Amino acid sequence: MPNTSSIAVRPTVAVLMPEQKGERDQILPLTKNILQLFNYLEETAKIDFDIRRYPWRRVLHNGENGEGLIFGIYKTAERLKIFHFSEPVYTDKVWLVSRCESNFVFNTLQDLKGKTIGIVQGSSAGEEFDSQVNISFKAEYNTSSLAGRFSKLHQKRMDAFLLYEPRTNLKEVQKELNQLYAADLDEYKKKKTDIFCIVPHPVSVIDAHFAMSINGDKTILDKIDKVLIQAKKNGELDRIFAK
């Protein structure tokens, strides 16, 4: 019989992520890009992920208290005081989603003056944007329900809302969103043209990371960092997030 004591046991790591909810309040599955990334990290770093999905504010709270790694978090001055951050995993673009009929124009933050913008509580869209919340523009605070955000937008309760999307094919993302969230609208059924549009200039472009409590053991984070550095060099990260 083999000596089982010599067989390495792969550590299991809790990964905390924000939940996204669909039109029936169900938690939407992770995107294929994220699943591919996690599979790659697990196999290369020889670890197993235990994915735990919560509302974003609870993700931050539980991560700060040492439950596990947070995935998909941006650096801010405040967060650097309480978290260790990994190497960048991907670059997120933060977009505005509006009603196509509104012909919403965005080039600079000045264009948001007097607008109402949907924001998930506890989230960040970069420090410049964050500094103008409820100053240049009004925030409509939303939950993790993506369907709820589209409903509010259709009802004209806000002018646009923030969408975090690392994929580069914006036309495909917009088509997918309309198929999911405009399917039951009469105007979409009749015209088969998009009801919701992604404004083609991002609010911000921000690196997303893994992070953990600054008081925790960095061993696993350092292990993940080694894999991320190599994956960036060999083009694997670009391949995973290409579509």
Domain boundaries, the chain: 11-90+207-240, 92-204
Q: Coil, helix or strand for 85?
A: strand
Dist. CA 68–CA 243, nearest whole Å: 28
Domains 11-90+207-240 and 92-204 share a fold: yes
Question: What is the CATH code for 92-204?
Answer: 3.40.190.10
Q: 13-71 pLDDT, tens per residue? A: 999 998 887 767 778 888 888 999 999 999 999 999 999 999 888 999 999 999 999 99
Which residue blocks in 114-181 are alpha helix, DSSP H? 127-130, 146-154, 170-181
Q: How far is CA 60 from CA 73, 115, 130, 181, 211, in A?
A: 9, 28, 17, 28, 10
Dist. CA 187–CA 55, nearest whole Å: 32
Taking the CA atoms of residue 64, residue 65, residue 67 and residue 73 in that order, the dihedral angle to the nearest 10 degrees is -10
Global pTM value: 0.76
Q: Which of 197, 83, 101, 193 is nearest to 150 (CA)?
A: 197
Q: 182-240 pLDDT, tens per residue? A: 988 888 888 778 999 999 999 999 999 999 999 999 999 999 999 999 999 999 998 88
Q: 78-124 pLDDT, tens per residue? A: 999 999 999 999 988 899 999 999 999 999 999 999 999 999 888 88
Specify whether domain 11-90+207-240 bears CATH 3.40.50.1820.
Answer: no
